[in-house]
Amino acid sequence: MTTTTRTIVAVTAGLSQPSSTRLLTDRLVADAVTELTTRGVQTEVQVVELRDLAHEIMDTMLTGFPPPRLRAVIDAVTAADGIIAVTPIFTASYSGLFKSFFDVVDSTAITGVPVLMGATAGSPRHSLALEHELRPMFSYLRAIVTPTAVFAASTDWGSGATTDDLAGRIRRAATEFSALVAAHEQPAQPTSPLGDFVPFAQQLAGK
């Protein structure tokens, strides 16, 4: 029996340690993995803390050449079957670190890749930032964004009905995301129009 495997890269842009942004990321990852498991899909998950890559991201913004550690992360995002992207919201928009990371990723790298968006902030007033900031950015990158995005304010981590509502939103978003990830297929690699080209010098050598 062939087992299907999908790769998920979770990009989290929290600045503090620990952070509510990482907490939301972990909750989204856990529910997505659970949903994919029920579909018979195994998952390989990589969580990327952009806080640890801040200097490399800025250097790349200035030089255009990512250092090896950042290059490996960009390659992982490019090869992923699904991306979970979570940012803190500052002044009604995503963080500069979050935006800068996606600025150094090639604009065609995540075309057709499922994305689950999440955001955290101190006040529920920032919740619309997911729709007027993050969704347009991922639409520009031609990713496939889940209909449900998940916002968590500080009050969502307390006890009571608000927390139950957050769990429901996470579960709904994870269900939508898992369906897209399970169906995602990596594009075929282009073949050379020359086929199995043998250099002329090699032909002369009889090799």
Lowest mean pLDDT among 84-93, 100-109, 119-128, 190-199: 190-199
What's 81's domain CATH number? 3.40.50.360
Q: Which domain holds residue 107?
A: 4-204
Looking at 67-167, which runs of residues are DSSP E strands?
82-90, 93-94, 114-121, 144-145, 150-153
pTM of the full predicted structure? 0.86
The single-letter code of the amino acid at 185 is: E
Query: What would the two tokens of residue 90 be?
Result: 């500052």
Confidence of residue 206 (pLDDT cuts 50, 70, 90): low
153 has a pLDDT exceeding 70: yes
Report DSSP letters for 89-138, one per residue.
EETTEE-HHHHHHHHHS-TTTTTT-EEEEEEEESSGGGTTHIIIIIHHHH
Query: What would the two tokens of residue 183 be?
Result: 């169906």
Q: What is the reported pLDDT for 3? A: 63
Element (H, E) at 10: strand 4-12
Encode pLDDT of 76-90 as tens digits. Answer: 999 999 999 999 999
Q: What is the reported pLDDT for 72? A: 97
Count Cα atoms within 13 angstroms, Cβ side, for 198: 7
pLDDT mean over 23-39: 96
Lowest mean pLDDT among 83-87, 123-127, 190-194, 195-199: 190-194
Domains identified in the chain, total number:
1
